Structure 1
Amino acid sequence: MRELDDHAAHALTLVSPLAPVTVPISAALGALVADDCLARTASPPFDNSAMDGYALRAADVAGASEGAPVTLPVAGETAAGAAHGRVPPGTAWRIMTGAPLPAGADAVVQVEATDGGVDAVAVRSPVEAGRHVRLAGEDCREGDLVVPAGARLTAVRLAALAAAGVAEVSVAPRPRVAVLATGDELVAPGEALGPGQIHDSNATLLAGLVAEAGADAVVLERVRDEPSALLARLDDVHVDLIVTTGGVSVGAYDVVKAALADRGVDFVTVAMQPGKPQGLGSVDGTPIACLPGNPVSVLVSFATIVAPMIRRLRGVDRGSPAQASVVAEGWRTPPGRRQFMPVRFVSGGEVAPATAGGSGSHLVASLAVADALADIPAAVSEVVAGDTVRIVRWSP
């Protein structure tokens, strides 16, 4: 029986980071930056006014007060988007927020401290040099680092790049991950159930998990439990990773194992509960992870094996930082196997089992209340209230 850490490490050897692609910033939301993003221009690119008011020399209104305003002729006017002007000594220049500071001015008096004059303006308070002036490059200068490699491009980061003159970015592409749920017993959600049939929740579960992990899910149409049909379905798939569910154990109708065992996929048992039967390998050069068919097993297998593979494809070295929580309500664990118990957070950040049936791999409806997985070492036979457990999340 293979240890989970060894199995997960082997899974990572099957995938490599995808080559970066260059995209316009308008199409980069949520992507991971492949290279450091440097400012192409200074921000602001020129000295400009932070207020609607009057640009002038601070020395010209040093003695201004409410009772004795200083009146200056208005030599000109500049709005945002206009060219620079020039302020002669002893004059003021009407200016709008964001407009270039005219040459000769070293301060801006906000309009509220004046009478708002057009031809001449009465300034009712002094102003120090530099007041209400945004200096060129005070946000960033050309060549400054704006967004480091590995960062996720949020709306705010994209805005920062735009302000710094960056139009395109090199990003890690979203991996394309094919999802295939197998089993003659499966029917689409909402369809009437016949004898021995169940609704297919695994395709929905995996497609959502793949998307949450930062990849694009390609959901393949189910095929009958026939090896040749499965091989035909996989033959025309062009993706970065294939994930199947079901058909990997020792049953007479385990179609995935029957079809792929002699085609580059290694089927093993892993010392984990749930999720013991697993398959890993490549099919015609495409990495493939073959997971068990029970939904909780799928969730656990995704969190521990598939999600790290997707992160590697995206060029992400590690997942979320390790987290630990105190147990509010204990449970039994299987002997000799590492257990992953679906848990929910209760008051104070403590955790309790999310299901009444423990970590049973079929308890998919109960997952609706699960927040995370508790990772319990194989040597532990029972978890009791007050214990501290490691928490694993299936989404970033």
Structure 2
Amino acid sequence: MGRIFKERTAVNEALRLFLENISPLRHAEEVPLEACEGRVLAETIVSGRNVPHYRRAAMDGYAVKALDTTGASPVNPVLLQLSDSVMEGTSLWVHTGAVLPEGADAVVVVEDTVTTGNMVEIRAQVHPGRNVGQVGEDIKKEDLVFEDGHLLRPCDAAVLASLGLERIKVFRKPVVAVIPTGDELISRGKAGEVPPPGMVLETNGLMTILYVEKWGGISRYTGIVPDRPESIKEAIEANLDADMILISGGTSVGKRDHAPEVVESLGKLLVHGVGVSPGKPVALGVIDETPVVCLPGYPVAGLVALYFFVRHGIRKLGSIPEMPELVLKKRLAAKISSKTGYVTFTRVVFEGDMIRPLTGKAGVLSSVAKADGYVLVPENLEGYEAGQEVDVFLIE
């Protein structure tokens, strides 16, 4: 006899309960700048030097005393002597980035000059500091450059390198164990032949580990675990050293769905059954302070659970700042229907300036691969009408 869900928890409430039971990892490790992109700083960076540390020419041209260019113009050029030093009435050629010679306080760009023999015509007046990079113009010594918790980008690595740094402290990435379950699953290592009826290749695990890595975690794939409570229990206990455990499959209420009950027997089951479609069978729990997510076996439902819960969980574990999502405003080319009481995840494709909803059951993952983005219909609405403007989130 089939079981039923005891209750259905709203998405936002389920996420709140889940994140409440996650503590950020604060362990730091050193990495070279070449590997810092996407990592989170575990230290505050204060500059130990001026950048630049010398006055430099900001353009190709002639270093001069600005006073010597007073009144210079194309019709009234000023003649200066070319020299190895800059004094009153002389100038010196400089390349971009070169040290500004003693005595010079400006650079006349080469386009505003004409050279004849050992004389140069200055055809533009410049003021002191023109085309000159001053000491500390970019960063001054003792400047606060980055605070801890900053998510590092390639441009940030270049700034850190300009300070003379080679390695920095970042927070350790969370280790996420991925446990696929199901007697019907066949390893992709045996993918040479078409599986017999009733058997399928295990692909949810692949999708899951790639999203874990994309969102800032380190994945640990365990291999397929049979639909037996004792086997699931052993797999969980063997991975309690991970920072998060994801169990794929066995989350519904059928006779072979044991994952939530096993989690409850080992720790605390926070939620089983969420108001999201597809994805209702997701379960959230915690075992010995290790957060656990039981992902539905249907691929799209599993993907929804990854987006709604795992992504946020990894970010909290890794102290990764929540970044605003790119949201597009588009009009619907066709109606979207949904059921009240559930946040509905609807896949869509772009059609010019509009979007069209894609149909597809929760087990049809190709509908996600074909989609450009998704629309979330709130739980209090029965859908959106054709022509209505909606928010579109891009599929990562």
**Partner Cα separation in structure 2 for residue 374 and residue 49 of structure 1:** 52
Question: SS of the residue aligned with 1:277?
Answer: coil
Distance apart, 1:206 and its partner CA: 1.0
RMSD of aligned alpha carbons: 3.0
Distance apart, 1:257 and its partner CA: 3.4
**Partner Cα separation in structure 2 for residue 135 and residue 48 of structure 1:** 7
Change (3 A) 1:379 1:58: closer
Question: SS of the residue aligned with 2:83?
Answer: strand
Q: Residue 83 of structure 1 aligns with which residue?
A: none
Question: SS of the residue aligned with 2:294?
Answer: strand
**Partner Cα separation in structure 2 for residue 325 and residue 52 of structure 1:** 48
- Mapping of 1:51-90 within 5 angstroms? 51-60=59-68, 70=79, 72=81, 74-75=83-84, 87-90=86-89
Distance apart, 1:331 and its partner CA: 3.4
Question: SS of the residue aligned with 1:262?
Answer: helix
Q: Residue 21 of structure 2 aligns with which residue?
A: 14
Change (3 A) 1:105 1:255: same
Contact 1:67 1:124 in 2 (8 A): no
Structure 1 unaligned spans of 5+: 77-86
Tell me the percent identity.
31
**Partner Cα separation in structure 2 for residue 101 and residue 116 of structure 1:** 23
Amino acid in structure 2 at the alignment position of 1:75: D
Q: Deviations over 1:242-292 (max 9, x none)?
A: 111111222222242353331114162222221122222223432111111
Contact 1:344 1:369 in 2 (8 A): yes
- Mapping of 1:18-33 within 5 angstroms? 18-19=25-26, 21=28, 22-33=30-41
**Partner Cα separation in structure 1 for residue 377 and residue 61 of structure 2:** 66
**Partner Cα separation in structure 2 for residue 335 and residue 63 of structure 1:** 76
Q: Residue 246 of structure 1 aligns with which residue?
A: 249
Distance apart, 1:182 and its partner CA: 1.0
Contact 2:251 2:296 in 1 (8 A): yes
Q: Deviations over 1:218-247 (max 9, x none)?
A: 222112223333333333333211111111
Distance apart, 1:167 and its partner CA: 4.1
Contact 2:278 2:301 in 1 (8 A): yes
Amino acid in structure 2 at the alignment position of 1:56: V
Distance apart, 1:340 and its partner CA: 1.8
**Partner Cα separation in structure 1 for residue 319 and residue 252 of structure 2:** 32
**Partner Cα separation in structure 1 for residue 13 and residue 67 of structure 2:** 74
How many equivalent residue pairs?
378
After the TM superposition, list the runs of 4 or more consecutive aligned residues in structure 1 that deviate by more than 6 angstroms: 63-69
- Which moves more between the two structures, 198-207 or 320-329? 320-329
- Which moves more between the two structures, 125-134 or 289-298? 125-134
**Partner Cα separation in structure 2 for residue 243 and residue 61 of structure 1:** 71
Amino acid in structure 2 at the alignment position of 1:307: R
Distance apart, 1:48 and its partner CA: 1.2
Q: Residue 119 of structure 2 aligns with which residue?
A: 122
Amino acid in structure 1 at the alignment position of 2:129: G
Change (3 A) 1:331 1:168: same
Structure 2 unaligned spans of 5+: 1-6
Contact 2:263 2:285 in 1 (8 A): no
Distance apart, 1:317 and its partner CA: 5.3
**Partner Cα separation in structure 2 for residue 108 and residue 334 of structure 1:** 69
Amino acid in structure 2 at the alignment position of 1:45: H
**Partner Cα separation in structure 2 for residue 222 and residue 178 of structure 1:** 12
338, 351, 370: which one aligns with 2:343 = 338
TM-score of the superposed pair, with normalisation by structure 2: 0.83
Question: SS of the residue aligned with 2:173?
Answer: coil
**Partner Cα separation in structure 2 for residue 311 and residue 317 of structure 1:** 7
Contact 1:66 1:124 in 2 (8 A): no
- Mapping of 1:1-396 within 5 angstroms? 1=7, 2-19=9-26, 21=28, 22-34=30-42, 37-60=45-68, 70=79, 72=81, 74-75=83-84, 87-110=86-109, 113=113, 115=115, 121-125=118-122, 127-128=125-126, 129-147=128-146, 150-189=149-188, 190-192=191-193, 193-237=195-239, 238-266=241-269, 268-316=272-320, 318-321=322-325, 323=327, 325-334=330-339, 336-348=341-353, 350-355=354-359, 357=360, 360-392=361-393, 395=396
**Partner Cα separation in structure 1 for residue 15 and residue 71 of structure 2:** 75
Q: Deviations over 1:70-100 (max 9, x none)?
A: 3536235xxxxxxxxxx45554445433222
